[in-house]
Chains A and B, each alone.
Chain A
């Protein structure tokens, strides 16, 4: 089915096709349209979902936790400060091993208050124990949401999944999109049959009991192992998804990386812009390439190291600050992943696009110009820098 949908509409439509048992619904820009569209499906009787309107995101995630623990499939959507208000519950969901699915429409965190796209919200939750999968465009936002449940609900994984897309750029832009038939989706997702759940009367269950120190570390170990196991499962589900959709997904996408000497590593909608820049440079004979990280949790460190091993210079572009004073989160983890290479490429970090600051093809070309200089001279200049801000100094 070919359609034209916004990213929010696409995710709401994916939810409708899945027909989850419960939705914890609370609006926040730019994710508001997801519960809004979904409320329409509920009102029109197109889904059987228990649509729970709550007074905050703390409560919408609490609803999801309770529902999922009871044995239901629960979903929610949020952005920015909404995700921040869920923060405590994100950890509860993950540590109780409840495979809730959350659509995060990425938006800058206050303050100063801003409603536009960057990744500071989901990057702030990167260590909460949720699987994080990022979309470049509407099609990926739809596809990623459909793949979330088969990944998270697998017994060896049992982790909540956050599918992320860039606020407004992806959530509100209308694009051509290919939708699967609902019966195909239902078959792909399957029924949710957890082994243990609160409503299983023959088998009483306690969820989230207090953990004294002689047990806590062991439970965290189990959680860490589950996150490791998720990597293989994500690839398995992607392979199954390819069979029904014809669309292929990995932990990250390698764009013209075969013989690339200069490479970018980034997340989300900027990949589209970067691909245009790569194509332009390739036409000029520059061996430019791009890695678009799709799965940030679990972090594909070893795979990234292999994919980047042959390059000379890399710019990791972070669409969130992080305030480590040493670079953004994607940079820190990518650089760490490449530490074990015998011959390490030069690597710099560029923080860009905060609070919806636009990034153009020419901006990306400038980054590649800088990488070309670094590859020739061996001089990186400042390893941690920002792009796109007005300055009295020249910036790249």
Chain B
């Protein structure tokens, strides 16, 4: 069995899976799609009421939640679409122009 963690951009063809099949779930977690980010959301914790509206609206899974509270953005997966800022009823999210590294 070939696991996703053992595959990277240096893996020779002999060690890849036929058809690029993936034999385990959730491997997108390991893939840094945040490098595509066009704009960057900033989380202002002091203004957040933890209403959790932003979490289901995020088209990716870039807003982690722990113990009923949202945490700072997962910038490894955030693409900067700005939907969270749109739906936030409070001034808890602002967008910076550009995919600034975070």
Interface residues, chain A, with chain B CB atoms under 8 Å away = 95-98, 158, 196, 203-209, 211, 214-215, 217-219, 221-223, 226
Instruction: Report yes or no: B16 in contact with A204, Cβ–Cβ below 8 A.
Output: no
Q: Smallest Cβ distance from A195 to chain B, in angstroms?
A: 9
The distance from the CB of B29 to the nearest CB of chain A, in whole angstroms, is 13
Q: Which residues of B contact A96 (CB under 8 A)?
A: 19, 21
Residue in A95, A204, A221 whose beta carbon sits within 8 Å of that of B19 in the complex: A95
Chain B residues with Cβ under 8 A from A209's Cβ?
A: 20-22
Residues of B within 8 A of A158 (CB): 18
How far apart are B4's CB and chain A's nearest CB, in angstroms?
A: 10
Whether A207 contacts B23 by the Cβ 8 Å rule is no
Nearest-neighbor residue (CB-CB) of B24 within chain A: A204
CB nearest to B22 among chain A residues = A206
How far does the alpha carbon of A205 sit from the alpha carbon of B22 in the complex, in Å?
A: 6
- Chain A residues with Cβ below 8 Å from B16 are 215, 218-219, 222
State whether A203 and B19 are in contact (beta carbons under 8 Å apart), knowing that A218-B11, A222-B13 are contacts in the complex.
Answer: no
Contact B21 A207 (CB under 8 A): yes
Knowing that A97-B18, A207-B21, A222-B13 touch, tell me 16 more A-B residue pairs with CB under 8 angstroms. A96-B19, A204-B24, A205-B22, A205-B23, A206-B22, A206-B27, A207-B19, A209-B20, A215-B16, A218-B11, A218-B16, A219-B18, A219-B20, A223-B18, A223-B19, A226-B18
Interface residues of B (CB under 8 A from A): 9, 11-13, 16, 18-25, 27
Count of A-B contacts with CB under 8 A? Answer: 52
Q: Report A324 CB to chain B, min CB distance, Å.
A: 31
Asked if B13 and A206 sit within 8 Å, CB to CB, the answer is no
Q: Can you sample 15 A-B contacts with CB below 8 Å?
A: A96-B19, A96-B21, A97-B18, A97-B19, A196-B23, A204-B24, A206-B22, A206-B25, A207-B21, A209-B22, A215-B9, A219-B18, A219-B20, A221-B13, A222-B16
Q: Which residues of B contact A207 (CB under 8 A)?
A: 19, 21
B23 touches A203 (CB 8 A): yes
Q: How far is the CB of A208 from chain B (nearest CB, A)?
A: 7
| Across-interface contacts of A226 in B (CB, < 8 A) | 18
A219 touches B22 (CB 8 A): no
Q: How far is the CA of A98 from the CA of B21 in the complex (A)?
A: 11
Nearest Cβ on chain B to A331's Cβ, whole angstroms? 32
Determine the chain A residues whose CB is within 8 A of the CB of B23 once the complex forms.
196, 203-205
Contact at B9–A206, with CB atoms within 8 Å? no
Asked if B20 and A211 sit within 8 Å, CB to CB, the answer is yes
What's the nearest-Cβ distance from chain A to residue B11, in Å? 7
Residue among B9, B13, B19 having the largest count of chain A Cβ atoms under 10 Å: B19
A158 to B13, CA, bound (A): 16
Which residues on the B side are within 8 Å of A98 (C-beta)? 19
Q: Does B18 lie within 8 Å of A218, measured CB to CB?
A: no
Cα separation A222 to B11 with both chains bound (whole Å): 13
Contacts of B9 in A (CB 8 A): 214-215
In the bound complex, CA of A95 to CA of B16 (Å): 13
CA distance A95 to B19 in the complex (A): 5
